[in-house]
A = this chain, B = another copy of it.
Amino acid sequence: MVAPLKVGLAGLGTVGASVVRLIDRQRDVLTLRCGRPVEIVAVSARSRGKDRGIDMKRLRWVADPVELAADPGIDAFVELIGGDGNPARAAVTAALKAGKSVVTANKALLAKHGVELAALAEKHKVALNFEAAVGGAIPIVKTLREGLAGNAVARIYGILNGTCNYMLTRMEREGLSFDECLKEAQRLGYAEADPSFDIEGHDTAQKLSILASLTFGIRVDPGAIYVEGITSITTADLEAADELGYRIKLLGVAVKTDKGIEQRVHPTMVRKDSAIAQVMEVTNAVTIDAEGIPPITLVGPGAGGMATASAVVADIADIARGVRAAPFGRPSARLKVSKKAPMQRHEGGYYIRMLAVDKPGTAATIAKRLAQHNISMESIVQRHSGPPAGGAEKGKGPVPVIIITYATTEDAVRKALAAVQRDKVISGRPQLIRIEKN
């Protein structure tokens, strides 16, 4: 029998406790699959006494996670502490420097210090695995790092935040307002007390920065991502999307353009019949557009103790088997700098919703401004709030106008809308949602 892989685990929250249970339950199969047993031998957490439903007696307790990370009694270190600062960062650094392979589920740490940690892992010839950091149980990191090694990927996009997708699903299905949905999500534990990190798109951006690095060989850098959350989305947008054959999803998108890799997070109109549009509630999904072949989409649970634990255990199994790839798929020194995409140069179709002053010539004025900026309309719908009886309704106050444009640039759209606002034919700010072809 080959010697077991001895694992030290720091962080015994829901995920950590699930990892301990899963390794226990799958002991025999893991041994068969890895060619050697996997054993958690020591743990570290904030509180020692807490009941976690696991047998703590057979696990050696190390109070300081950084000390555990470099412990001579372990071969691999699992970091489930969280956060981009210490002790998580110090512990992962200490483990790598001590020549121990590391598994982490910590997207914040990777988004901020991923390249530096990858370099350290490469220097010490150990693994740095983070399947659980993006998309929970979906094997997206392994797929990008190893499974699509031969493909030139043109674009990758995904639903990476369960909170936002849950809210958009409920708003769409039940016509609930954003605020009602948020309260409901908070009640069910799908949204934090302070939900801004999720609903403003930053969680998605951290995850996208990791996927974009793996896909395009660029340095992990959330700062290079244009980020816009879902707080401006109304039921009126969701209804209009539905009628036009679209759904609205918060997507993280990284795409190869002739100006470099464009990385962005924003609400997106996706065609209702696309695979990504079918993804509802807290489920996550990632679509990969490789050159020359139809898209590949991976769908599954993006969060939850067991889902995250299953990815952590798969990463541990790879270490037990001796599999080691460059953390971001190629040597960290060869990762290219990613510049922030200038969104004004973004090209694509747009959904525009405005409240137009209901008087003769308004539609003509809007159409003229768009034409002046070379924007072609695929459709324009003007709605009257009362019965659609025509003349009798005129002058009754603002009416929604919904426009779908053909591909144009963001710059042109913004300039045209600024002109429309100066014309005083609309009330308030227009809503603008980018259309993602799929």
Interface residues of A (CB under 8 A from B): 22-23, 25-26, 29-30, 32-35, 131, 137-139, 142-143, 146-152, 217, 275, 278, 283, 290, 292-301, 304, 306-307, 309-310, 312-314, 316-318, 321, 323, 325-326, 329-331, 334
Residue of B whose beta carbon sits closest to that of A296: B300
Extra contacts besides A22-B150, A29-B217, A32-B334 (12): CB < 8 Å: A22-B151, A30-B150, A35-B331, A139-B139, A142-B142, A142-B146, A146-B314, A148-B314, A150-B316, A294-B301, A296-B299, A297-B299
- Which residues does chain B contribute within 8 Å of A314, judged by CB atoms? 146-151
**A/B interface sample: 21 pairs, CB < 8 A:** A26-B150, A30-B150, A32-B330, A32-B331, A33-B326, A137-B290, A139-B148, A143-B143, A146-B321, A148-B310, A148-B314, A149-B313, A149-B318, A150-B310, A150-B317, A292-B306, A293-B300, A294-B301, A295-B300, A297-B298, A298-B298
Given A149-B33, A149-B34, A217-B32, are A293 and B306 also a contact pair (CB < 8 Å)?
yes
How far in angstroms is the closest Cβ of chain B from A247?
13
Contact B152 A142 (CB under 8 A): no
Residue in B143, B217, B307, B312 whose beta carbon sits within 8 Å of that of A139 in the complex: B143
How far in angstroms is the closest Cβ of chain B from A170?
15
- Expressed in whole angstroms, the Cα–Cα distance for A307 and B150 within the complex equals 11
Main secondary structure of the interface of A (DSSP, over half): mixed
- Expressed in whole angstroms, the Cα–Cα distance for A309 and B152 within the complex equals 13
Contact A329 B33 (CB under 8 A): yes
How far in angstroms is the closest Cβ of chain B from A389?
36
Q: Copy number in this complex?
A: 2
Given A137-B290, A146-B142, are A301 and B306 also a contact pair (CB < 8 Å)?
no
Residue in B23, B297, B307, B317 whose beta carbon sits within 8 Å of that of A294 in the complex: B307
- Which residues does chain B contribute within 8 Å of A312, judged by CB atoms? 150
- Expressed in whole angstroms, the Cα–Cα distance for A326 and B320 within the complex equals 13
- Which residues does chain B contribute within 8 Å of A317, judged by CB atoms? 146, 149-150
Residue of B whose beta carbon sits closest to that of A150: B313
- Expressed in whole angstroms, the Cα–Cα distance for A290 and B25 within the complex equals 13
Residue of B whose beta carbon sits closest to that of A301: B294
Given A217-B29, A299-B297, A307-B293, are A323 and B150 also a contact pair (CB < 8 Å)?
no
- Expressed in whole angstroms, the Cα–Cα distance for A316 and B330 within the complex equals 16
Contact B290 A294 (CB under 8 A): no
- Expressed in whole angstroms, the Cα–Cα distance for A325 and B33 within the complex equals 8
- Which residues does chain B contribute within 8 Å of A146, judged by CB atoms? 142, 314, 317-318, 321, 323
Residue of B whose beta carbon sits closest to that of A26: B150
How far in angstroms is the closest Cβ of chain B from A127?
12
